[in-house]
Amino acid sequence: MLRHIASQFSKRALAVDMATCSALGAVGDIICQLAIENRKLLTPSQWHWRRRGEPAETEVFDPRRFATITAFSTLYNGVMLHFVLQMYPFGAFALGRLMSPGNIRTGLLTEESMVHAHACGWLDNLHCGTFYIPAYFYFVGRGQGDSDDEVRDNLLNEYGASYRAVTAFWVPFMTANYTFVPARNRLQAFAVGNLAWCVIIDHVAHRGAAEG
């Protein structure tokens, strides 16, 4: 598997994925802060870089949050997922080889089948629950200026709701991604989905906070 991925490696493809994830991650946070959360956009000379221990800003544009989410989108989404998304089909093949002969086994071993794509969607879900969600909470939390205790408490308090929301949105999306999108464009499709995901989840969270 690793040999195959290495043989297909392209600096240009990696650069395109990084640029796409970075740009759409940045656009997503701008939409969330300005359109969903109704923060005021100050001039760069008025921006305040939150220090550790200071309360999080809620009324004006938060440049530290913007920078952190853009960095996470570039490094984790653009770099890590560039390789991780290529591993899911091999995982589906491995599952197929473990199963007794039948339609499911045949589907898992056939890359063009819906069964194979659905397995890739659930493998992505496993990755999200095990690595992506904790990495997001830690990277973004620490990047925004939260302490280790705040990051841990946020992760423990929000993990269940986050994982349920991730499952509801991303399993169908990634199944469709592996069904209809060519392999070379799957991370770019993910980045578009992530833009929609960030806006939707921020809208739901902001509306819930307002109603509370």
**Beta-bridge partner residues of 40:** 60
User: What's the whole-model pTM score?
Assistant: 0.90
Buried (b) or exposed (e) across 155-182, using 16+ Cβ within 10 A?
beeeeeebeebbeebbbebbbbbbeebe
Per residue of the chain (212 residues), what is the pLDDT tens digit? 877 777 778 999 999 999 999 999 999 999 999 999 999 998 888 887 877 777 777 889 999 999 999 999 999 999 999 999 999 999 999 999 999 999 999 999 999 999 999 999 999 999 999 999 999 999 999 998 888 999 999 999 999 999 999 999 999 999 999 999 999 999 999 999 999 999 988 877 765 444 45
- 60 SS3 class: strand
d(CA 48, CA 55): 12
